[in-house]
Amino acid sequence: MLSLTACGAAGGPPAVESLPGAPAFDAALAARLERARADKDADYKPRTRHLREDGSPRYTNRLILESSPYLEQHAHNPVNWYPWGDEAFEAARALGRPVLLSIGYSTCHWCHVMEQESFEDEEIAAYLNAHYVAIKVDREERPDIDAIYMNAVQLLSGRGGWPMTAWLTPDRRPFFGGTYFPPRDGDRGVETGFLTLLRWLEQHYRERPQQVTETAADITRRIQVGLDAPASAGLPGLDVVDSLVDLYARSFDAEHGGLRQVPKFPSGLPLRLLLRQHRRTGRQDVLRMVTLTLDKMAAGGIRDHVGGGFHRYSTDRAWLVPHFEKMLYDNALLATTYLEGYQATGQTELAEVSRSILRYVEREMTSASGGFYSATDADSADGQGHAHEGWFFTWTEAEISEALGPAAAAPFQAFYGVTPEGNLEGRSILHEAVALDEVARRFEQTPDELRAGLAGSRQKLYETRSKRSWPLCDDKILTSWNGLMISAFARAAFVLDDPSLLDTARRAARHLLEARQASGRLRHAVAAGEAGRVEAFLEDYAFFVAGLLDLYESSGEKVWLERAIELQAVLDERYRDASRGGYFMTSHDHEALLAREKPIQDGAEPSGNAVTLLNLLRLHALTARDAYRAAAEALLRAFASTIRDSPELLVGLELYRDEAREIVIVTPRERDEARPFLDVLRTRFLPHAVRVVAVDGDEVRALASIVPPLAGKVAREGRATAYVCRRGACELPTTDVAVFAEQLSGRAPR
C-alpha cells in the first residue's frame, strides 16, 4: 500500500474505461485492472486529478497491477503505461512504434512535476497513447535498467538526473533522451516542450528509420564500450589516494565545509576516505575538512532539527535550504560517518548526531516487521491542502509561539534563526544560526539550561508537527539500503553501548533473510508486505553482507557471520567475473539487457564493487581463507585504471595495503567481562580492524572452526584476555586494559 502519512481517503472501485487515444482494454485485462483497484485498502487514495464525483479514478492503467509505490503513483494517469517487460516491447514491434521510457522514483520532486504537467495532461496522454508505447520504471526497483539508460541519456544530452526520459526502438536501443521536459513550448522558458518533442521524434522515427537505427546502434556500442574497462596487470598504490585527497583539498569550501559547488550533497566529499587518510598520514588539514563539514551539516537546514535525520541535499553553499526529501541510504551513511568522526575526534556532539538519525529511523522509517522504509517526499500539503516543497518541515514565528509559549519561543527562535520574513517563501527553515553560548548569555541562562530547554521545545514542536499532513512515505523495503542501515545500527550499538540499537539491527536482518527465495538467494525489494519479483543485485548482497559482518562484530553472535559467508558464496558463484575480476551488477542468469555493468563509480551510495572489496578483506581477516584475498586482488586489478572514480574503493585499497588487524578478546565466563576492553575500543577509530569476542571453552572451539585467528586463544589466569594481531603475528596477550590500549596505539613492544 502506498502510504500518505508517516510511514490515506477512500473511493469505490472504478469501472475501467478507455484511456484517451488508446483502444479499449480487452475484457480479461479490464477485469484484472478492476479487481486490482477493488482490492486496495479502504484508505487508498488515487493519485490523479481525474476523479469522478464519488472520488473514484476515471482512468486506470496496467501499473495498478504493480507492487512498486512509484508505479502505483502513476496507475491512474491517462497514459497507457506499461511496466518494463517483453509485453511492452512486443507491442511496440507489432505496432511499428517507438518506445517512450520514463524512469523516476516515488519521492522525486521533479518526477511529480512532470507527472502533473504532462502525464496527467489528457492531450499529451492521447498523443502518447496513439503514437508510442509508454513504459514506466522505478529506478529504485530496477537500478540495472536505470544505470544503462542513464548512461545513454548522459551520452546524448551531456547531463543526467530524474525524471529520466528516453526514446527507444522496439529492440530496446536508445536514440534520444533527456531528463525533465516542460509540457509545451515556452513553458518554464524552454523553447521546445515535451508535446512538440513527442511529435517531432515520432515523425523522425517514421520518416528516417535508417538514421534512427544508426544512432541507436552507435549509442548502444558506446554504452557497451564504456562499461568494459580493461583490467590491469598491477595493483594500485596509495599514491592514488594521496592525489585524490589533494584534489579535494583544492576544491574544499573552507567556510561552509563540503566542496565549493551547488547543489551540495552530503556524499560530495568522501569523509570516510579523508578520515582514513588522516589516520595514515596525520594530516591535520584533512581532519579539519572532515570536522568542519560534519559540524556545518549538523547545524544547517539540511538537518531536520525537530524530527531527526537529514534531507537529500542543499541548494546553497551554506547547507541552509535543502531539497526536503529524506532517503534511507543518506541517513544510514551519515549515521556511520558521524560515528567515525566521533571516534576520530572524541567530539561527543558528533555521536549525538548519529544517535538522533537512528532514533528518527526507528520512529518514522521502520516497519512492523523490522525492515526500513525507503524515503519520504519533499512535498507536503499546507493547511488548505495545497502541496509545497518543505512546508511540513518549516515554521513561522506565530506557529512556534503558539506551540511553545512566548517564554520558550524566544530563545528557540534566536538559536534556530526563525525570523518574521523567514528564509523560504515566508517560512523559516530551522538551522543553528547563533552560537549556543551567545544565546544563553542573551537570555541569562547557562548553556546546559538552554540546551535542556531547546530539547524540550523540539519535542513539543515534533508533537505539533505530527498533526500536519505528512509527506508521502515510500514504504518499499530495499535489501541494499536496509543493509546500509543495519550497518549503521550495529556499529552505533557498539560505539554508543546501546543494546536497543542492536535489537533493531537484528530485526531488520531477520526480515531480509526471511524474504529470501527457497534457493537462499536474496530479493531486491519488499513492498506492501510481499517480497518483490526482482532478484537481488550486487548492491543488495554487498551492503547486506557488510551489515551482517557489522552485526557479528557488535554482537559476537556466530549466526550473522555464517549468513554473511553464505551470501558472499552466492555472490561469488553468480555475480563474479571469474576471468577479469570484479562483480557484475546482475547475476549470470538475470534478464539480458543492452550491457552488463560492473559498477565502480560512487554516487549517493558507494558502489557495490567497493563495498564487496571491503567485505572480502574483512572475511579474509576473520576466516583466513586465501580465496577471499585473491578475489579482492582481482577486483582491484579490474578497476585499477578507474579506481579514482570510486573514493569508497580507495577506502578498500587503504585496508588492503594496511591489512586488517585482528582484535580477539576471550573471557572466562560471560561476555560482560570483556567490557573494560570494549570500552577502550568504542572510542578508538580503528577502521582496519576486525573484532572477535568469545567465551573461553566450547564457544571458542566452535567459533575457531570459522574464525581460525581465535584458535588457541584462552582467558589467561581466569581473566578476560586481549590479543592484538596482524599478518599472523600477535602482541603479547594481556589482561591489563592499559597495556591493551597501548597495543592499539602501536606503541607497545611485540
Give, in order, the Cα–Cα distances in Å from 365 to each of 326, 493, 637: 10, 18, 39
Nearest residue to 294 (alpha-carbon basis) of 358, 341, 361: 341
pLDDT band at 12 (very low <50, low <70, confident <90, very high): very low
- Provide the 10 A C-beta neighbour count for residue 745: 9
Q: What is the pLDDT of residues 408-436, one digit of tens each?
A: 999 999 999 999 999 999 999 999 999 99
Length of the chain counted residue by residue? 750
> Rounded distance, CA 199 to CA 185, Å?
12
Which DSSP helix (H) or strand (E) runs through 491?
helix 479-495
Is 544 within a domain?
no
DSSP 645: G
* Max mean pLDDT range (231-245, 256-270, 334-348, 526-540): 334-348
pLDDT value of residue 527: 63
Is 559 within a domain?
no
pTM > 0.85:
yes
Mean pLDDT for the stretch of residues 33-47: 87
Q: What is the pLDDT of residues 216-271, one digit of tens each?
A: 999 999 998 877 766 776 889 999 999 999 999 999 999 999 999 999 999 888 99
Residue 726 pLDDT > 90, yes or no? no
> Rounded distance, CA 676 to CA 463, Å?
40
**Mean pLDDT for the chain overall:** 92
Is 487 within a domain?
no
Domain boundary among 405, 438, 465: 465
Q: What is the pLDDT of residues 622-659, one digit of tens each?
A: 999 999 999 999 999 999 988 988 999 999 999 999 88
β-bridge pairing 661-667 and 689-695: parallel
Q: Where are the alpha helices (DSSP H) in 578-644?
A: 608-623, 626-638
Residue 557 pLDDT > 90, yes or no? yes
Phi then psi dihedrals of residue 741, to 5 deg:
-60, -40
Cβ 489 vs Cβ 501: under 8 Å: yes
> Rounded distance, CA 179 to CA 141, Å?
19
Exposed / middle / buried, residue 712 (Cβ in 10 Å: 0-12, 13-18, 19+): exposed
pLDDT band at 7 (very low <50, low <70, confident <90, very high): low
Q: For the chain, what is the domain count?
A: 3
Q: How many CA atoms lie within 13 A of 645 on its CB side?
A: 12
Domain, as residue range, for 423? 379-465
> Rounded distance, CA 125 to CA 79, Å?
5
Query: Using a CB cutoff of 8 Å and minimum separation of 24, what contacts does 590-593 make?
Result: 590/144, 590/535, 593/144, 593/145, 593/148, 593/172
Is 277 within a domain?
no
Q: What is the pLDDT of residues 565-616, one digit of tens each?
A: 999 999 999 999 999 999 999 999 999 999 999 999 898 999 999 999 999 9
Residue 385 pLDDT > 90, yes or no? no
Give, in order, the Cα–Cα distances in Å from 166 to each of 46, 101, 161, 285, 595: 26, 5, 12, 44, 16
Q: Whose grid coordinates read 568542519?
A: 292
DSSP 13: P
pLDDT value of residue 644: 87
Domain boundary among 465, 489, 515: 465
- Give the percent of the chain with pLDDT over 90: 81
Q: Is the dihedral of CA 622, 625, 631, 636 positive or negative?
A: positive
Contacts (Cβ under 8 Å, ≥6 apart) of 681: 494, 663, 691, 744
Least reliable range by pLDDT among 291-300, 399-408, 708-717: 708-717
Contacts (Cβ under 8 Å, ≥6 apart) of 365: 7, 328, 331, 372, 373, 376, 473
Q: Is the dihedral of CA 217, 602, 324, 301 positive or negative?
A: negative
pLDDT value of residue 211: 96
β-bridge pairing 729-730 and 721-726: antiparallel
Phi then psi dihedrals of residue 415, to 5 deg:
-70, -40
> Rounded distance, CA 61 to CA 248, Å?
48
pLDDT band at 4 (very low <50, low <70, confident <90, very high): very low
Is 557 within a domain?
no
pLDDT band at 368 (very low <50, low <70, confident <90, very high): very high
β-bridge pairing 133-138 and 99-104: parallel
Strand partners, 684: none
> Rounded distance, CA 318 to CA 297, Å?
8
pLDDT value of residue 383: 77
Nearest residue to 539 (alpha-carbon basis) of 627, 449, 477, 478: 478
Q: Whose grid coordinates read 502510504?
A: 3
> Rounded distance, CA 227 to CA 598, Å?
7
CATH number of residue 93's parent domain: 3.40.30.10
Strand partners, 723: 664
β-bridge pairing 387-389 and 473-474: unpaired
Cβ 548 vs Cβ 563: under 8 Å: yes
Cell digits of residue 150: 542513464
Nearest residue to 117 (alpha-carbon basis) of 171, 59, 182: 182
Cβ 99 vs Cβ 148: under 8 Å: no
Strand partners, 372: 366
Domain boundary among 174, 195, 226: 226
Exposed / middle / buried, residue 659 (Cβ in 10 Å: 0-12, 13-18, 19+): middle
Phi then psi dihedrals of residue 443, to 5 deg:
-105, 15
Is 451 within a domain?
yes
Is 687 within a domain?
yes
The radius of gyration computed from the CA coordinates of the chain, to the nearest angstrom, equals 27
pLDDT band at 69 (very low <50, low <70, confident <90, very high): confident
Cell digits of residue 460: 513539543
> Rounded distance, CA 60 to CA 44, Å?
14
Q: Whose grid coordinates read 554516487?
A: 603
Which DSSP helix (H) or strand (E) runs through 724?
strand 721-726
Cβ 116 vs Cβ 80: under 8 Å: no
Contacts (Cβ under 8 Å, ≥6 apart) of 278: 284, 286, 287, 290, 344
Q: Apex CA 96: angle with CA 94 and CA 101, to 5°?
A: 95
> Rounded distance, CA 498 to CA 490, Å?
10
Is 341 within a domain?
no
* DSSP E strands, 114-183: 133-138, 164-168, 174-178
